[in-house]
Amino acid sequence: MFIYFQNPKIRKRINMRLLTTIILTMAVIISYGQQDTAKTIEQKKDTVWTFEGQSSLNFTQGFLENWSQGGENFLSTLLLNDYTISYDKKRASWENSFNYKLGGTQQGDQDMRKTEDIFEFNSKFGYDISNRNIFFSNIINFKTQFLKGFDYGSGNDSVAISRFLNPGHLVIATGFEYKYDKILSAMVSPLSGKATFMTDTVKYNPETFGIDSDKNFRAEMGAYIRIKFKKELIKNVSINTSLELFNNYFDHPENIDIDWQSTITFKANDFIKTVLFTHFVYDQNVSQYWQVKETLGIGIAYSIK
C-alpha cells in the first residue's frame, strides 16, 4: 500500500545539480549482559528532571539530465523526532515520551507521496519495589497519524483511507518492569487493555484496521510485553529499538500482535548523520502477512542530552 500527499503546493519541480548516492550494507548484533546495578542505585539523585531527544531531517535524492540510459529524478525526505521527559524521586519514576515520523517521496513528475506518518505518545509511572530496579509500573501508549493516507496501489488514489484518529490505537497496561540505567527497559504486563478506534466510519472503512463494519471500536484484553533498548554500539553508531508484543486472551490467543521499530544512527559529526529506520508490524486482525517498512537517508540532526 502506498499513500501520498495531495497538497498541490508541494508539486514544485526541484532542480537538483549534485547527486550523492549512499548505499550501506550492515548487520547489527546486540549482545548485552547484565551488570551489578548496586553502583547505579548509589549514583541516583534524590530528585531529578531530565530532558533528552533528537530531531533529524534526512534526504535521499537523484538527479538526471540528458541521461541516455533513461531514469527519473527522485527526492525522498524523512523527519524524525524523538523526545523524553523523565522525573525520578527516590523510588518513584515518571517518564513521558513522544516521537513523530513524517516522510514523503517524489519521483519524476509525480506528486509527493506520503511514505511515513507515525505519532506515538507514552506515559509511564513506576515504583521501585526492590531497590534493584524492579518497578511496579503503569503505562499508557497512544498511536495515530496526522495526515490523510491514500491507497496508491489500488489505482483509486483520490479517496483517503486514513487520517488523524482514523485509526487510533491505545494500550493501557499494569505490570512489572526491569530498568537498567537509561539503556534497557523490559516490562511484562499480565493485565492490559488494547483499543483500536475510529472517529469517522463513513469516509473510512473500519474493516481495513480490524474493526467490524458496523462498529467504530475494537477492544481487547490480554498480556503485553514492551522492551526498549538504547545504546551506542560502537563509536558514532547508536541504536534505539522498541519491541511491543500483545496477546489477546479471548480472541485467537494463539496469535501475537508484534510492533517493532528500530532506528540506527551513524554519526559523521554533531550535525551530519545517516539514519536507518525499520518498522515491522504483524496484526492478524489487519493482515495475515508481515507489514514491513524501511527508510535510509543522510541528513541534519540535533540532539539534546
Question: Is 159 in contact with 134 (CB distance < 8 Å)?
Answer: no
pTM of the predicted structure, to 2 decimals: 0.79
pLDDT score recorded for residue 19: 30
- Give residue-wise pLDDT tens across range 51-77: 999 899 998 888 888 888 888 898 999
> In the predicted model, is pLDDT for residue 103 greater than 80?
yes
**Cβ(277)–Cβ(118) under 8 Å?**
no
Q: Does the pLDDT at position 129 exceed 50?
A: yes
- Per-residue pLDDT tens digits for 170-205: 999 999 999 998 899 999 999 999 999 999 999 999
Cell of residue 66, nine digits: 540528458
Q: Residue 260 has which C-alpha cell?
A: 517493532
Within 10 angstroms of residue 257's Cβ, the number of other Cβ atoms is: 20
* Amino acid, single-letter form, for residue 175: G
Instruction: Label each residue of the chain as H, E or C.
Output: CCCCCCCHHHCCCCCCCCCCCCCCCCCCCCCCCCCCCHHHHHHCCCEEEEEEEEEEEEEEEECCCCCCCCCCCEEEEEEEEEEEEEEEECCEEEEEEEEEEEEEEEECCCCCEEEEEEEEEEEEEEEECCCCCEEEEEEEEEEECCCCEECHHHCCCCCEEEECCECEEEEEEEEEEEEECCCEEEEEEEEEEEEEECCCCCCCCHHHHCCCCCCCEEEEEEEEEEEEEEEEEECCEEEEEEEEEEEECCCCCCCCEEEEEEEEEEECCCCEEEEEEEEEEECCCCCCCCEEEEEEEEEEEEEEC
Q: How many CA atoms lie within 13 A of 304 on its CB side?
A: 11
Q: Across the chain, what does the average pLDDT equal? A: 84
pLDDT value of residue 189: 97
| pLDDT (0 to 100) of residue 232 | 94
Cell of 115: 511514505
User: What is the distance between the alpha carbons of residues 149 and 134, in angstroms, rounded to a whole number?
Assistant: 41
The model's pLDDT over 4-43, given as tens digits with 9 standing for 90+, comes to 334 444 333 333 333 333 223 233 333 343 444 334 434 4
What's the grid cell of residue 91? 523510588
Q: Which domains does the chain have, with CATH numbers?
A: 85-97+118-304 (2.40.160)
